[in-house]
């Protein structure tokens, strides 16, 4: 997998996370607020080790890390109690990403000493403690990303071995394991081989059919002694590489021999995919939209707009539709889920992993596909269908206004326009006129001879103010008919 060399520097530059964030997973939280709780007692004990000089190797995590002091204590004594790999165990049972953030920021567990190697595994309690709609994978991913940012700030010379969340549950279709698989697939992209090294050896815990052995994980969540032996045997060579590495030296990530959930055979337009490795603004918008949803406290939206930059520009700073959008919001509660540059697979991932959770909606609008690079219109149409299916499954109470991909290019024979028209001819069949309503006003953007001019789209792709007025005029009667206002 391609490594994202700019991740940590980009995260630090964003600087958007704070204790006021609406998303629980990125909000530093000190457990239950009781200064006498057992977690605080453990934290105070660990701070004594910190004050004594810390250690060159640091383990950070939840009970799976904590229990190096239980089922894994003999293995720990053998590999991490002394010598160059001498380590401090900063695992606390039941911790989620927000608790780790508190321990590293307010708690100061990385302060006052210089570590060389930090091993981080966290997130299984984010999925295990809350239902999907309260803790979708995107929140956990953002929480882990913020922990990496804090580590980079607190320990700028240390390298992080980011370990995949261990498999849990008896079988591969365990609900929490599947959620963790989504998280693992995305956080693996945070590795750059220098500051962050990915480490996944989960195949060593599993049978060929994905079953987790009770001999290795007695409760199907925490390793037994043999599980900790496998953990140590898998990670010690990587720790040694980190400890002996020269400044700037790249260290290869560790991948399972038969990774589950990391490869797909269906068309890319259908395959849910994020853009976390690409551009920091996409990650920022993910956070902003989850904050908007969570911060609104489960309200019912009149309209949820789903799409790419054409939808995004209804509300984007400097967007050509912004003034009209502001007027529209005086009548309707609207959530804009348009992201510039998105393809069907990116929207599918967002719809599956957080952006449809925590609210009700009366009406969705959907237009997507113009950014898809696939040459086969049927593949792009399948991607649109997949997005539509996710919306309908998660919000069966809502109507969906499905729109064709807008025309693009000056002339009718523009290759992208021709491809999009073929997609449109397929997706119009997805509408049933009842729950999914087809709304085609593409002709309004065109001159009588089929050409398109800068009168409606300055770049022949995105509507300008005139183009958004055409859109608004076409869709307003539908809003009034369905929403009654």
Q: How many residues does the chain have?
A: 485
Catalytic residue among 63, 213, 280, 309: 309
Catalytic residue among 43, 99, 222, 462: 462
- Cα(230)–Cα(235) distance, rounded to whole angstroms? 9
- Cα(103)–Cα(90) distance, rounded to whole angstroms? 9
Is 459 one of the catalytic residues? yes
Is 278 one of the catalytic residues? no
Count of CB atoms situated within 10 Å of the CB of 449: 7
**Please, what sign has the CA dihedral across residues 177, 265, 204, 234?**
negative
Is 309 one of the catalytic residues? yes
**Catalytically active residues, by annotation:** 309, 459, 462
């Amino acid at each position: 997998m391609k490594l994202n060399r700019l991740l940590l520097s980009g995260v630090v530059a964003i600087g958007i996370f704070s204790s006021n964030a609406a998303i629980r997973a990125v909000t530093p939280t000190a457990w239950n607020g009781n200064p006498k709780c057992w977690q605080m007692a453990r934290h105070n004990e660990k701070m004594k080790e910190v004050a004594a000089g810390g250690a060159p190797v640091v383990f950070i995590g939840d009970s799976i890390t904590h229990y190096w002091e239980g089922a894994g204590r003999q293995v720990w004594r053998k590999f991490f109690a002394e010598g160059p790999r001498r380590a401090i165990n900063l695992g606390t049972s039941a911790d989620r990403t927000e608790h780790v953030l508190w321990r590293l920021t307010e708690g100061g567990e990385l302060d006052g000493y210089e570590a060389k190697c930090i091993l981080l595994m966290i997130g299984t309690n984010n999925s295990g403690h809350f239902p999907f709609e309260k803790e979708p994978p995107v929140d956990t991913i953002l929480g882990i990303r913020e922990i990496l940012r804090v580590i980079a700030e607190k320990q700028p010379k240390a390298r992080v071995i980011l370990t995949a969340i261990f498999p849990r549950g008896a079988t591969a279709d365990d609900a929490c394991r599947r959620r963790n698989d989504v998280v693992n697939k995305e956080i693996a992209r945070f590795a750059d081989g220098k500051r962050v090294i990915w480490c996944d050896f989960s195949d060593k815990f599993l049978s060929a059919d994905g079953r987790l052995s009770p001999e290795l994980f007695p409760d199907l969540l925490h390793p037994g002694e043999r599980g900790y032996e496998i953990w140590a045997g898998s990670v010690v060579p990587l720790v040694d590489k980190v400890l002996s590495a020269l400044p700037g030296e790249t260290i290869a990530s560790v991948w399972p021999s038969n990774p589950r959930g990391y490869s797909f055979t269906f068309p890319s337009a259908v395959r849910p995919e994020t853009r976390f490795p690409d551009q920091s603004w996409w990650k920022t918008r993910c956070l902003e939209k989850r904050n908007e949803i969570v911060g609104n406290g489960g309200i019912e939206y009149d309209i949820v707009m789903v799409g790419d930059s054409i939808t995004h520009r209804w509300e984007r700073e400097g967007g050509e539709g912004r003034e009209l959008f502001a007027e529209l919001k005086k009548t309707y509660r609207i959530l804009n889920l348009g992201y510039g540059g998105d393809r069907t697979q990116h929207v599918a991932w967002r719809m599956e992993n957080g952006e449809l959770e925590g609210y009700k909606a009366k009406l969705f609008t959907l237009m997507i596909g113009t950014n898809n690079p696939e040459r086969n219109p049927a593949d792009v149409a399948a991607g649109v269908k997949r997005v539509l299916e996710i919306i309908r499954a998660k919000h069966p109470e809502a109507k969906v206004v499905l729109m064709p991909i807008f025309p693009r290019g000056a002339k009718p024979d523009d290759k992208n326009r021709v491809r999009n028209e073929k997609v449109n001819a397929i997706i119009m069949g997805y509408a049933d006129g009842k729950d999914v309503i087809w709304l085609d006003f593409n002709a309004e953007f065109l001159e009588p001879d089929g050409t398109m001019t800068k009168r409606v789209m300055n770049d022949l792709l995105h509507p300008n103010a005139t183009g958004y007025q055409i859109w608004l005029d076409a869709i307003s009667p539908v809003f009034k008919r369905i929403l009654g206002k």
